[in-house]
Amino acid sequence: MKNLLLGYAGNSGIAQMTKEQARMLTHVNLAFGHVVDGLLSVEGLTALHDLNKLREWNPDIKIVLSVGGWTSGGFSEMAMTEEGRQAFVDSAMKVLDQYHLDGIDIDWEYPCSSAAGIASSPKDRENFTFLMQALRKAAGKRIVSIAAGAGAYFVRDTEMDLVAEACDYVQLMTYDMRSGFDHQAGHHAALDASLGDETGMTVRRTVELFKNAGVPKEKIVIGAAFYSRRWTGVPNVSKGLLQQAESVGNYGPGYAELTRDYIGKNGWETIWDEAAKAPYLWNGSEFISYDDPESLKYKCEYLKEEGLLGIMYWEHSTDDTGTLLNALYNTLK
């Protein structure tokens, strides 16, 4: 399998990962370390002590420490000065050495933005570049990557051509493309747009956006969602698609829960959107957007046709059935 298959996994995700699953993955992104007082902290990451089983099961697997995540701050302040950046980089290299990790993944959500309740500055744009360049210099042959928001805001607020030069690959978070800020019910992780959808981002649109910003396609990793987004108070028009809901698209059930309690059960209708190449669930007033084996198959075929590097997913523990990882692996291989 020449394409990368990466899974984000927190403590519970690592704990439930099976031998067969570890052998399917090329990379595990261990989530999350944080920036605390300007340095890398891995306090609370109990999974750091459970990684040897993955290496025993799959000697070729790469285990990368992901730093950040939604509401995880400290980046802007740390990256503001050369001294601050170097102190963080030094602390990061010590952690990689201590736990024999294969690299570092920066998930700053997001430079120049305080939407997640974190500090930001207009200077984040260039300081993000400087941070990634410093990590690249220190990491040597180890992996340096980022997770990038799937939208024009991320390209606007970064220097992606320079950031990409410092990275082994750039992971596009092509999920939450409709999210906790959006009242319009629709797909949050679709390959293409629904008919009549002129506003929403898609996997294909996001890839083009980053390519145009200077990211080589050979470094692009797209994202898949192992969880859902759910809207309530949706008008019963067009089975909810593209309707203005009373709620925003809140974080919804993981795929395992969807298969147990929703898909084909309890009055939920499964609808396949051929234009978007994505499914959704509808019960007359609630709309749930998610990825399934068929939508993942289309994404994998697309990335191979486009010559992209691979696909990653968030997050391993939300599908303990193994169905979605099997779909990704079997299509890519």
Q: Which residues contact 283 (CB under 8 A, 6 or more apart)?
A: 266, 267, 268, 269
Placement of tokens 């701050």 in the chain: 73
208 carries an active-site annotation: no
Catalytic residue among 83, 109, 218, 274: 109
CA distances from 68 to 86, 108, 215, 232 (A): 17, 6, 22, 29
Written as one string, the DSSP assignment of 80-103 is TSHHHHHHHHHHHHHHHHHTT--E
Instruction: Report which residue type is found at 26.
Output: T
- 326 by DSSP, 3-state: which? helix
Maximum Cα–Cα distance across the chain: 58
The CA distances from residue 170 to 165, 220, 265, in Å, are 10, 5, 38
Coil, helix or strand at residue 10: coil
30: phi then psi, degrees, rounded to nearest 5: -80, 120
Q: Which residues are catalytic?
A: 109
